[in-house]
Amino acid sequence: MIAESLALGGRALTKWVRNPFAVVVTSIQALFWLALFGNSFNPANALASPSGSLGPLQQAFGGAPNYITFLTPGVIGLVALTGMSFMGVDLVFDRINGYLDILRAFPIPRTSIYFGGVIQNIAKGMVAAPITFALALVIPNGLRLGSGFGVLNLLGVFGIVALLTAVFATFFTGIAISVKSTDSFFAAINFLTFPFMFTSSAFFPLSFFPAWLKPVAQANPITLASDAMRLLILNSSLNASQVQALAGDVAGLAVIGAVFAALGITMAGNALKAR
Amino acid sequence: MIEVEGLTKTFSSSTKVVAGVSFSVNEGDIFSLLGPNGAGKTTTIRMLTTLVSITAGRALVGSYDVSKDPGSVRNLIGVVPQEVTLDNELKGMENLQLAAKLHHVPKAVADERARELLRLVDLSESMNNRASTYSGGMKRRLQLVTALIHEPRILFLDEPTVGLDIQTRTRIWDYIRQLNRERGLTIFMTTHYLEEADQLSDVVAIMDHGAIKVSGPPRELKDSLQGDVLTISVEDGGEDLAGFLRSIPNVSEVTRADHSYRLKLPRVESALPEIITEVALKGFRIAETSFSKPSLDQVFLEVTGRSMRDAEEGGGAHDGYASVHARETR
């Protein structure tokens, strides 16, 4: 199972390395979110604060000194979402040109076709996060790390990115393997990405949300991941309640990932069945 | 090697695409399923290769039941689909290596086999080029050997030369023959090219409307029509030879056009010397003789009541035609 998944995932990665266009586009997308959205929607603008500081709002924004510091984990989450949603298109093309069909005549478990897709998507997705992080650090009024931010914090941030990327990879690979055409694929991902995006704390803290939306937003994987990353970015050492919050976020992501994977395996099994 | 009994496939539309076919393929044979597009050939090959479920009946491939033990069947077979399904962004060699990995062939063994197979189909020089740079014929050849990297015992070919030019087609035929002779590979193929079935197969089964109408070695099928045609032209023959020719044993029909006589008889090779001698003994000088044996098309006509060409143009525009057409215009 693992060997076949790696073989199939490796195939896609070989092609991707030869055509790095997607990496470039993903990075530009991250820059747009940070530099354009981060400045035009910056709440500090309304406060007319000269230094770009969030002033009285800092508390609400989890203690972030400026908006882009708050926004960066959100953007990392959004890039994981959009990246994972589109990258499954490889599988759609594999279906259209008959490759997926003929793979079924190979003596390999069906789930390896699904996990091959998941693995390659995670690998591709993991490239975007460090780029986003680095861009956020270099742009003016950008990401300001908490004092004492160290290697462990950084590893923690990327661990959470990996988990979130896996959550979306398992979800969208299941969709990619199930749809029959590019049309339905793009319709499906367009339909699905926006709710994830706008019910999350990627842009604004949950305290800004109306009560009816809060429970949904709280369970959104982007919320869980961004909040967890924020804890690690803004604090050098976590107090007991912060540790608890972080553990809760990570556990939430793991549970959602497991549910999505189970769903994806079922969808893939169904889509690849001999009829 | 393959035993099929009452094999039936019904899709949701409830029409039987394959309606209870039975046949068997001996080890080491080349077996062709010949028929117009839409006859049910592709569905049959897809059932045998575990890609489509079997509605009713039974199929054993290498003694494994296709429905009950598809995994064992997959280990035993190589499949070359109608559409080229290579990865265009990977190099020729990499396509083979990927197939090897998916068949659990150890890398060292796989690399050696891959080189040998690429040499066999004359692709050694382009093995490090991406498949996207290959011509249609090269892709077909690469696809063929990709299905052989794990040394299957049975090779399934779905329309192996569809859409190829004549030279490329004959070349592919040579490779298929070579694989069959030198490696003892059992080959099951579908085709709607009469010549392809005729030239390559040990056994041909003619399929139409989901049923096998007749099967046997191409030679036997053609001979069974007893329809060889011999044409004899004589020099300035005043006398009508028709009556005399008709009296020769086994000649079933004689028609005359001037000095030319057209005879129908079962096996022209065995009767020819006698006929020529008789005509010469009668004092006629023979100006010209020619003969033709029935083609598989005539066999098809005999068993289905229409020619392959009519079948293709008429009710045959099902999935097969659509996919071929789509590929050619892509």
3-state SS, one letter per residue, for chain A: CHHHHHHHHHHHHHHHHHCCHHHHHHHHHHHHHHHHHHHHCCHHHHHCCCCCECHHHCCCCCCCCEHHHHHHHHHHHHHHHHHHHHHCHHHHHHHHCCHHHHHCCCCCCHHHHHHHHHHHHHHHHHHHHHHHHHHHHHCCCCCCCCCCCCHHHHHHHHHHHHHHHHHHHHHHHHHHHHCCCHHHHHHHHHHHHHHHHHCCCCCCCHHHCCCCCHHHHHHCHHHHHHHHHHHHHHCCCCCHHHHHHHHHHHHHHHHHHHHHHHHHHHHHHHHHCCC
Q: What are the backbone dihedrals phi and psi of residue B35, each rounded to the nearest 5 degrees, phi first?
A: 180, 165
**How far does the CA of residue A93 sit from the closest CA of chain B (Å)?**
11
- pLDDT of residue B231 exceeding 70: yes
- Annotate B258-317 with DSSP letters as a single string: TTEEEEEES-HHHHHHHHHHHHHHTTPPEEEEEEEPPPHHHHHHHHHSS-HHHHHHTTT-
pLDDT of residue B237: 61
Give the residue from chain A lying closest to B51, CA to CA.
Answer: A274
Write out chain A residues lying below 8 Å of B83, CB-based: 97-98
For residue B197, which of B35, B27, B44 has the smallest C-alpha distance? B35
Per-residue pLDDT for B321 more than 80?
A: no
Number of Cα atoms under 13 Å in the Cβ half of residue A92: 20
Residue A36: C-alpha distances to residues A51, A142, A144, A201, A254 (Å) = 18, 12, 18, 18, 32
Give the pLDDT score at B326: 33
Q: Output the DSSP codes for B56-72.
A: EEEEEETTEETTT-HHH
Question: Mean pLDDT over residues A117-134, rounded?
Answer: 90
Kindly report the backbone phi and psi dihedral angles of residue B248, in degrees, each rounded to the nearest multiple of 5, phi listed first. Answer: -70, 130
For residue B298, how far is the Cα from the chain centroid?
Answer: 16
Give Rg (Cα) of chain B.
Answer: 24
Distances (CA, A) of B240 to B17, B237, B251, B264, B327: 53, 7, 16, 17, 57
CB–CB contact B51 A101 (8 Å): yes
Out of B71, B79, B94, name the one closest to residue A102 (CB): B79
pLDDT tens column, A128-167: 889 999 999 999 888 999 888 889 999 999 999 999 999 9
What integer best gives the mean pLDDT of chain B?
86
Q: What is the pLDDT confidence band of residue A193, given thresholds at 50, 70 and 90?
A: very high
Q: Alpha-carbon distance A3 to A257, whole Å?
A: 22
Asked whether residue B328 carries a pLDDT value surpassing 60, the answer given is no
Residue identified by tokens 């009946």 is B57
Distance to chain A for B51, nearest Cα, Å: 5
Q: Assign B103 to helix, strand or coil.
A: coil
Q: Report whether B53 contacts B44 (CB < 8 A).
A: no
Amino acid at A201: S
CB contact under 8 Å between A3 and B85, yes or no, is no
Is a pLDDT exceeding 80 seen at residue B322? no
Whether A107 contacts chain B with CB within 8 A: yes
Q: Is the pLDDT of residue A6 over 50?
A: yes
Both tokens of B162, joined, read 């569809």
State the distance between the two ends of chain B, measured CA to CA, in whole angstroms. 37
* Structural tokens at position A92: 């759609």
Give the position of tokens 């984990």.
A73
Please enumerate residues of B whose Cβ is less than 8 A from a Cβ of A: 49-53, 70-71, 74-75, 77, 79, 81, 83, 85, 87, 89-90, 94, 98-99, 101-104
* Alpha-carbon torsion (B77, B82, B87, B88), positive or negative: positive
Structure tokens belonging to residue B314: 């008429």
- Comparing CB atoms, the residue among A7, A19, A274 nearest residue B101 is A7
> d(Cα A144, Cα A136) in Å, to the nearest integer?
9
> What does the pLDDT look like over B10-25, one tens digit per residue?
988 778 899 999 999 9
| Amino acid residing at B236 | D
Using an 8 Å Cβ cutoff, are B77 and B155 in contact?
yes
Least confident among A126-140, A214-228, B103-117, B264-278: B264-278
For chain A, how long is the longest CA-to-CA vector? 66
pLDDT at B329: 33
Contact call for residues A121 and A169 (beta carbons, < 8 A)? yes
Out of A15, A98, A107, the one facing B75 most closely (by C-beta) is A107
Residue B327: band (very low, low, confident or very high) from pLDDT cuts 50, 70, 90: very low
Best to test chain A binding among B53, B64, B76, B85 (most A CBs inside 10 Å):
B85
In terms of Cα–Cα distance, which of B70, B52, B64, B51 is closest to B4?
B64
Residue A104, chain B, CB below 8 Å: the answer is yes
Write out pLDDT tens, residues B163-199.
888 888 898 899 899 999 998 999 999 998 888 999 8
Q: Do A106 and B102 touch (CB under 8 A)?
A: yes
Q: Look at residue B163 and give its three-state secondary structure.
A: coil
Q: Residues with Cβ < 8 Å from B213, sequence gap 6 or more?
A: B206, B207, B303, B304
Instruction: Supply the pLDDT for residue B314.
Output: 57
A5/chain B closest Cα distance in angstroms? 9
Pairing state of beta strands B2-10 and B77-80?
unpaired
pLDDT at position B317: 39
- Nearest in space to A157 (alpha carbons), one of A228, A222, A224, A220: A228
Q: What percent of chain B has pLDDT over 90?
A: 48
Tell which A residues from 1 to 40 touch B, by Cβ distance under 8 Å.
3-4, 7-8, 11, 14-15, 18-19
Averaged pLDDT, A110-121: 92
Q: What is the dihedral of CA B266, B285, B240, B281, to 10 degrees?
A: -70
| pLDDT bracket for residue B52 (50, 70, 90) | very high
Q: Tell me the mean pLDDT in the region A218-241.
A: 92
In this structure, of A48-52, B105-109, B286-290, the range with the lowest mean pLDDT score is A48-52
Say if the Cβ atoms of B102 and A99 lie within 8 Å. no
End-to-end Cα distance, chain A:
23
Q: For residue range A49-103, list pLDDT tens digits in order.
A: 767 788 888 888 988 989 999 999 999 999 999 989 988 888 999 999 889 999 9
